[in-house]
């Protein structure tokens, strides 16, 4: 499925938010080796991690497809998407 640049930016924002959630849980729970996480904490973290992983995979595939369709370098499309997602003007 072809994606517009705006759709790619929204996908990147979703992946960034999911990543922030994973980082927040790591900070909140601490390293699992120091104090073992409860079953609920482990399940919550793994769910958040899978969501981030899936969103990151999807945006990577969409950026690759978009770059091919537009005849652009993948790295340039990715840089543009990340810049617009993280630093909107």
Contact (Cβ atoms closer than 8 angstroms) between residue 70 and residue 88: no
Helices 5-29 + 39-70 axis angle, to 10: 160
Residue in this structure with the two tokens 């705006």, named with its chain if needed: 6
Q: Give the model confidence (pLDDT) of 59-77 as tens digits.
A: 999 999 999 999 999 999 9
Question: For residue 10, what are the CA distances in angstroms to 26, 41, 43, 57, 82?
Answer: 25, 28, 27, 14, 10
- CA distance linking residue 14 with residue 75, whole number of Å: 20
Q: Is the pLDDT of residue 46 over 90?
A: yes
Q: Is the pLDDT of residue 43 over 90?
A: yes
Q: Return mean pLDDT, the chain.
A: 95
Q: In terms of pTM, does the model score above 0.75?
A: yes
């Amino acid at each position: 499925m072809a994606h517009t640049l705006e759709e790619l930016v929204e996908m990147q924002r979703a992946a960034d938010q999911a990543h922030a959630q994973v980082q927040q849980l790591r900070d909140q729970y601490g390293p699992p080796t120091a104090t073992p996480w409860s079953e609920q904490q482990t399940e919550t973290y793994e769910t958040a991690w899978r969501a981030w992983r899936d969103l990151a995979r999807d945006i990577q595939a969409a950026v690759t497809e978009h770059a091919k369709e537009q005849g652009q370098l993948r790295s340039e499309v990715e840089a543009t998407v990340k810049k617009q997602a993280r630093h909107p003007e």
